[in-house]
Structure 1
């Protein structure tokens, strides 16, 4: 199989991740924080060190709480449901948001009577329109701003630093979805103006499925959304007050955490980014030579290795099935869990886009096979 669905989850993982997870399953899969014996202490040490590696990645100190969760979706649910949103509160979201934000914000808005507004976009370039955004902010002052760093549909790198800097003029709380960026793009918390950064372990960090979380840089108070056992203060029916333990109910997925720990230890952001962009530029050049293909591309300097396109005369679903069954090429098709952006792409007649996700282990041969298959289909 030629795997080109790295925006969904990076695959394969570095060999060190597989080794660490196998070792963890065999030797360390005990309940961290629930016992004073040596194996439990070792599991707890790995959790502590993994959290510190995440802090180091965004250049924050020990005071930034790192909360681990089973996925970034659950982490975003904890954040959105935990924020002090009240009737009439104004929330801004980018038009590139994933349903992990979009559906969760919508649910809370319906329950609490919150106003949700989209950050404006230039419909020609598909870039965030910062000037229109500034006007909207001045008219309806933002209290909370949610923004994905990289679009999982087009690969567009959003100007989150500018968006959040403007939001901070109004005292807004800013939340970054770094699912498609952390580990691929350098993020300095002090520069980006994010109060909370949510992350996915299994995407650009090259860890396994089953681990994600958020980093509460500014110490934003969040009410409890998920409750349960923590291994401490067990006679108390309220969750512990700790900045991290208050949000970490249930047994830790220590096997996945070991995998993330191994991935973070071997992560090379500049190398991953350089390789991804070299292959992306090559693929874009080749796809531009196929007349039946229309790509949705942002500016090359604001782009990662995610390419979406439609194929004239064929639905995205049909094309994806043919690529799979006839060429053993795995791509993603459809609307990619991103409900807002497709009204600007105008891709409903194609049932969404075909999405190519390039990753650390993608080769020139892989994308050349895709191009060859598409050329063959275009000439039929």
Structure 2
């Protein structure tokens, strides 16, 4: 049976490094106890794994001295906790980039229905789908931001947003900055401290190469969220109120020690590829994905009747969005799967705003091919050949 060519890494990276599977199996068999809920040796050992995960995540994001790391089951859960917990007022203006996932958009709209604050989109340039900084400055001056939400990398187009520049402008108005790094952490350098971020959300199962069930956020010291999700924390159990100190204030329920162990193994693997330095490991895999992305684009550009939606080359990684003239996006995905055993994602990708900018509604969204660290050049060539065959009929 022919092996599937997997080009849906933006949804979840697959496969994971072998060490992730091994570590999760080991923990499931020897350490799958309730971390922080017991004084016995195994429980303490499990706590050490969780603590190590926090330490490594803070190191990757350059946040060890300025933020706490909160672990949640997913990035969606993390964004819900942040949006549910920030102190929004009716008079506030909240800016979102047009690249945001529904984990941001729907969560904000739920809260807007209760409070009535204003949501504005960061503007894009007319000639391409990238943030228009000058127009953004004007909007900020006219309606100062209270909060700014932005993805680091678009899950639709692979555009790398200018997070630091946007943050610098928003901070002139004392805005709080929330960055969704689901598509970037572990792949692109992040400097939480230097970029003056307030919250940074991550998804362990994407570019960090951990398993499902790991996500979370970094919260700057002195920031505090209102309780949004409550339950047991293993401490102060007679108190009916949640603790006030991070990270316990935001981590109700039993921690997922098995997935946490897998995430730790993935981060150790990343560091090993950099000879002990995260920066070098990130650079190693970034350069590989950049090469694969460019090879994919070059191949598709040679084919007539392929509509590509490309951000600037120097702000693009891992994801290529396109359509084939005469085909609906979903039909292309079905043909690639059934006839070529190639897995891509089609449609609107849970990102409702960007499609107005791309103008892809007549195709019912886009076809998204996304590469990962285990994608090969041969797989890219096979994919490009398949697209060409589809158009040849």
Query: Under a length normalisation based on structure 1, what TM-score does the superposition of the two structures give?
Result: 0.99
Deviation of 1:88 after TM superposition, in Å, equals 1.6
Match 1:338 to one of 338, 343, 351: 351
Q: Paired residue for 1:328, among 326, 337, 341?
A: 341
Quote the offset at 1:123 in angstroms: 2.5
1:62 CA drift (Å):
4.9
Moved more, 215-224 or 45-54: 215-224
Q: Which residue of structure 1 aligns with residue 278 of structure 2?
A: none
State the Cα deviation string for residues 26-48 of structure 1 (Å, max 9, x = none). 11110000001111111100000
* C-alpha displacement of 1:297: 0.5
Which shifted more, 11-20 or 52-61? Answer: 52-61
Q: 2:47 aligns with which of 44, 62, 72?
A: 44
Corresponding residue for 1:117? Answer: 120
Q: How far apart are the structure 1 equivalents of 2:291 and 2:222?
A: 39
Aligned residue among 250, 262, 284 for 1:271: 284
Question: Structure 1 residues 228, 130: closer, same or farther in 2, change over 3 A?
Answer: same
> Which of the residues 244, 247, 250 maps onto 2:250?
247
CA distance in 2, matches of 1:246, 1:159: 31
Indicate conservation of the 8 Å contact 1:10/1:204, yes or no.
yes
Q: Are residue 210 (structure 1) and residue 223 (structure 2) matched?
A: no
* Partner residue, 1:193: 196
1:230 matched to 2:233: yes
Give yes or no for contact 2:66–2:193 (8 Å, CA) kept in 1. Answer: no
Paired residues, what number? Answer: 380
What does 1:360-379 correspond to in 2, within 5 Å?
Answer: 360-379=373-392
Aligned twin of 2:132:
129
TM-score, normalised by the number of residues in structure 2: 0.95
Aligned-partner SS, 2:156: coil
Secondary structure, counterpart of 2:230 in structure 1: coil
Aligned counterpart for 1:67 among listed residues 67, 70, 78:
70
Q: 1:61 deviation in Å? A: 2.3
Structure 1: 4+ residue segments shifted above 3 A: none
1:242, distance to aligned residue in structure 2 (A): 2.0
Q: Secondary structure at the match of 1:215?
A: strand
Q: Give distance in 2, aligned partners of 1:261 and 1:92.
A: 34
Deviation at 1:86, TM superposition (A): 1.2
In structure 2, C-alpha distance between the alignment counterparts of 1:239 and 1:169, rounded to whole Å = 33
SS class of match (1:189): coil
> Helix, strand or coil for the counterpart of 2:261?
helix
* 1:104 partnered with 2:113: no
Distance 1:361 1:222 in 2: 38
1:306 alignment counterpart: 319
Secondary structure, counterpart of 1:66 in structure 2? strand
Q: CA RMSD in A?
A: 0.9
Q: How does 1:11-50 map to 2 (within 5 A)?
A: 11-50=14-53
Residue by residue over 1:49-89, the C-alpha shift from the partner in whole angstroms, topping out at 9 and shown as x without a partner, is 00000111111225521100000000000001100101121
Does residue 183 of the first structure (1) align with residue 196 of the second (2)? no
Match of 1:319 in 2: 332
Moved more, 14-23 or 122-131: 122-131
Deviations for 1:131-177, whole angstroms, at most 9, x for unmatched residues?
A: 11000000001000111100000000011111110000000011110
Residues 316 and 351, structure 1, Cα contact 8 Å, conserved in 2: yes
Structure 2: segments with no counterpart, 5+ residues: 271-280
Task: Give the match's secondary structure for 1:152.
Answer: coil
2:141 matched residue in structure 1: 138
Segments of structure 1 that go 5 or more residues without pairing to the other structure are none
Q: CA deviation at 1:217?
A: 2.3
Equivalent-residue separation in structure 2 for 1:113 and 1:307 (angstroms): 36
What is the alpha-carbon distance in structure 1 between the residues aligned to residue 328 and residue 221 of structure 2? 45
Question: Does structure 2 retain, via aligned residues, the 8 Å contact 1:335–1:351?
Answer: yes
Q: Distance in 1 between matches of 2:359 and 2:100?
A: 17
Distance in 1, matches of 2:233 and 2:25, equals 25
Q: Distance in 2 between matches of 1:174 and 1:241?
A: 21
CA contact 1:77–1:100 (8 Å) conserved in 2: yes
CA distance in 1, matches of 2:222, 2:75: 18
Superposed displacement of residue 218, structure 1: 4.0
Alignment correspondent of 1:88: 91
Measured in 1, the distance between the counterparts of 2:320 and 2:64 equals 35
Question: How far off its partner does 1:361 sit?
Answer: 0.4
